[in-house]
Amino acid sequence: MPEGDTVHRAARRLNTALAGRVVTRFDLRVSQAATADLRGETVHDVIARGKHLLHRIGDYTLHTHLRMEGEWHVYVDGARWRRPAYQARAIVAAERVEAVGFELGVVELLRTRDEEQAVGYLGPDPLGPDWNPDEAARRLAADTRAAHVALLDQRNVAGFGTVFVNEILFLRGVLPTRPMAEVDTAALVALGARTIRRNVEERKRTFTGDARPGQGMWVYGRERKPCRRCGTLIRMTHLGADPTKERLAFWCPVCQS
């Protein structure tokens, strides 16, 4: 599932492949930008902001978001694509290298000077160069909603998705429905930052320290399975800011009481 760690790894890979190169092919397969052509422009860099990817090319920024199914692939020397061509939404190529974005949830092209229109609403990113844990803790402390909902809100902290939120709340012993105003947000933020920074360096995401198949999660995806700490069966429900934005919430009723 693409969360902040996945997106930052993708940005590193794309930046290594494209930064400093001149664009030889530029193809956006979305109606609002289908005629855009940045051939001949130089790719300055590719960075991540939370779950968002930003290709800075010439005076423009290609802003994409993976959503649930999206992926960026890098191919060299005309290698065959690993996904069907009809799923491609963005193609940025340079000499001997081609980056292809498949099933991207968001594809938009804007001038780099207007980049903040797309990502300026995001909260501090624990994987970003300007990470500000005090500001992240302040934003969370001001949120009166359930901890699960508040921590998922990208306006508070950028990069935590459903997997990270469930696992972080378990590790801090916080019930998903507990009001965030009752939580030690500074400690929550510190743990979250350590967790996502560790995982961005790993090929396989793990929260337990055990990367073997089926062993990496404490609670996520483990409904009705015994808690790895106390043996109580893990529970699951849906939580969200409104019924259209509900996400899965997993918890141990003993360890997160």
247 belongs to the catalytic site:
yes
Phi, psi angles (nearest 5°) of residue 233: -70, 135
- Is 230 exposed, middle or buried, given 0-12, 13-18 or 19+ CB atoms closer than 10 A? exposed
51 belongs to the catalytic site:
yes
The amino acid at 127:
L
- Is 95 exposed, middle or buried, given 0-12, 13-18 or 19+ CB atoms closer than 10 A? exposed
From edge to edge, which strands make up the β-sheet containing 71-76?
25-28, 88-94, 97-102, 71-76
CA dist., res. 5 & res. 217, Å (int): 16
179 belongs to the catalytic site:
no
**3-state SS class at 62:** strand
- Is 42 exposed, middle or buried, given 0-12, 13-18 or 19+ CB atoms closer than 10 A? middle
The one catalytic residue among 3, 126, 139, 167: 3
225 belongs to the catalytic site:
no
The one catalytic residue among 21, 178, 197, 247: 247
Label the pairing between strands 71-76 and 97-102.
antiparallel
Length of the chain equals 257
CB 158 within 8 Å of CB 51? yes
The one catalytic residue among 2, 124, 126, 176: 2
The one catalytic residue among 9, 51, 205, 222: 51
Residue numbers annotated as active site:
2-3, 51, 247
